[in-house]
Structure 1
Amino acid sequence: MALVYLRELDNNVRFAIWRIEEPAEDLIGRLQLGAREKAVLSRLNKGKRTLHWLATRVLLRKMLDTPGYIDCPSDENGKPYLANFPQRISLTHSFDYAAVMMSDNGEVGIDLELVKPKILRIADKFMKPNELEAIGRTGIEKLYACWCAKEAVYKLQGNKGVSFKDNMTIRPFDFQDQGVLFLDLDAPHRQERFKVYYEKFQEYMLGYVTEN
């Protein structure tokens, strides 16, 4: 693996992106796996899914800088967490990359997506009509910024059943290669406006958000 991007947002929040170059066997050799992790691996299809799962765990080990066992299960909503470390985390992966966001305080969310024209076909599945009207149907990169923002907030809030289309609204914004947007979450358990950061990373779009 090669570290391609490391950013500290402040003293308490940071994220890193790694390019996955090794086979699964090499990644497994860098980890301490318990019975639960081995069971998870056995259920994954061989290939990218396995590499993504392993790469995020190897990156966690790099960021925590510990020789000890890292217990990273998922809760009842599927949100990964550290059982034996105090930091809050969010994981993402897309094709040849894996990323981890980590906070010493509140929850975080991160999403990385390869930019492809196919998002135009599904835009109305995750965006309201007024959101699409503000964007324009040809704004592929802007749509990915919106998708990454909604995915990042979804990961931060951590509850199943929250709809990208029905419970999240992107406020109008001017797209740049690197910028911020505001997202209103209106869910049964939480109503809040989030400031979400987005930026182009090579041919990918990255979105990330912190609590408070």
Structure 2
Amino acid sequence: MINIYYSYLSEGNHESLLRNHLPDFPENYQAKISRFRRWQDAQASVLGRILLFTGLKEAGFLGPADKELKYTSYHKPYFEDHPVQFNISHSGEIVVCALSDEGEIGIDIEIISDILIDDFKFQMTENEWERISTSTNTKNAFFEYWTQKEAVIKAHGHGLTIPLQSFEITDYSTIIQGEKFYLKEINIDKKYQCALSLKTTIKDVVLKHLS
């Protein structure tokens, strides 16, 4: 089972979303949300939780909303003694949550924006940078590699302690510390690039939009 849920931020729905859903979560989390200065940041966090618990419910794992998320020493959230692994990402106006019962999972989404791509050259291997710089669309090529690398280190679980230039993406797979990771591009919105990563070959993925 690999399900990906996504939703768009909406300023018009912000107050009703907080009113209807925030009380379902622990008080310490509610206090955290109240400290956000930007409504976008608050809503992105809450939507991530909503997508997560919607996915758990539809998969038959109700997981009470008051159950505390735990965090590894590398700040990756998880549920203790739970068969479903998950990962959440957001960028621009989209929040995504990937769930899997096939082991650790990582997902990354990025809005395709105008950035100084050369500033990130040191994050790529020589071969990756060659493919990016010679591509007919360097911006899209860069974000394709960037989301893949981010998804992989999130699936690995050690975050940015793994230097991005220390492993190379080739044909939608890579190896980190002797472990092989597979990748798949997820098409959600033409303005965004999104990548999914697992330790197993990625076959069927169900994409669900939560409005």
Q: TM-score, normalised by structure 2?
A: 0.79
* CA–CA separation in structure 1 for the residues paired with 2:167 and 2:15: 37
Residue 126 of structure 1: CA displacement? 1.5
Q: Which amino acid aligns with 1:162?
A: I
* CA–CA separation in structure 1 for the residues paired with 2:9 and 2:81: 26
Residue 81 of structure 1 pairs with residue 81 of structure 2: no
**Partner of residue 139, structure 1:** 138
Q: Which amino acid aligns with 2:144?
A: A
Alpha-carbon contact 2:7-2:96 (below 8 Å) kept: yes
Alpha-carbon contact 2:84-2:101 (below 8 Å) kept: yes
Root-mean-square deviation (CA, aligned residues, Å) is: 2.2
Residue 15 of structure 1 pairs with residue 14 of structure 2: no
Residue 68 of structure 1 pairs with residue 64 of structure 2: yes
Alpha-carbon contact 1:24-1:50 (below 8 Å) kept: no
Q: TM-score, normalised by structure 1?
A: 0.78
**Partner of residue 105, structure 1:** 102
Residue 107 of structure 1: CA displacement? 0.5
Out of 36-45 and 70-79, give the one that drifted further: 36-45
* CA–CA separation in structure 2 for the residues paired with 1:80 and 1:155: 11
Alpha-carbon contact 2:14-2:39 (below 8 Å) kept: no
* Structure 2 SS opposite 1:36: helix
Q: Pick the aligned partner of 1:182 from 159, 162, 173.
A: 173
Flag the 1:41–1:83 CA change in 2: closer, same or farther, 3 A: farther
Q: Which amino acid aligns with 2:21?
A: R
Q: Which amino acid aligns with 1:141?
A: N
Residue 95 of structure 1: CA displacement? 1.5
Flag the 1:35–1:84 CA change in 2: closer, same or farther, 3 A: farther
How many residues are paired up?
188
Q: Which amino acid aligns with 1:96?
A: E
* CA–CA separation in structure 1 for the residues paired with 2:73 and 2:36: 19
* Structure 2 SS opposite 1:71: coil
Query: Which segments of 5 or more consecutive residues in structure 1 lack a partner in the other structure?
Result: 1-11, 174-180
> Identity rate of aligned residues, in percent?
21
Alpha-carbon contact 1:24-1:51 (below 8 Å) kept: no
Q: Which amino acid aligns with 1:204?
A: Y
Residue 163 of structure 1: CA displacement? 0.8
Query: Which segments of 5 or more consecutive residues in structure 2 lack a partner in the other structure?
Result: 201-211
Residue 204 of structure 1 pairs with residue 192 of structure 2: yes
Flag the 1:28–1:196 CA change in 2: closer, same or farther, 3 A: farther
Q: Structure with the greater relative contact order (CA < 8 A, sep ≥ 6): 1 or 2?
A: 2
* Structure 2 SS opposite 1:154: helix
**Partner of residue 113, structure 2:** 116
Residue 117 of structure 1: CA displacement? 2.6
Residue deviations 1:39-81, cap 9 Å, x none?
A: 4324433322211111100111211224832433322211011
* Structure 2 SS opposite 1:30: helix
* CA–CA separation in structure 2 for the residues paired with 1:211 and 1:28: 39
* CA–CA separation in structure 2 for the residues paired with 1:208 and 1:92: 11
Residue 34 of structure 1: CA displacement? 1.1
Alpha-carbon contact 1:77-1:159 (below 8 Å) kept: yes
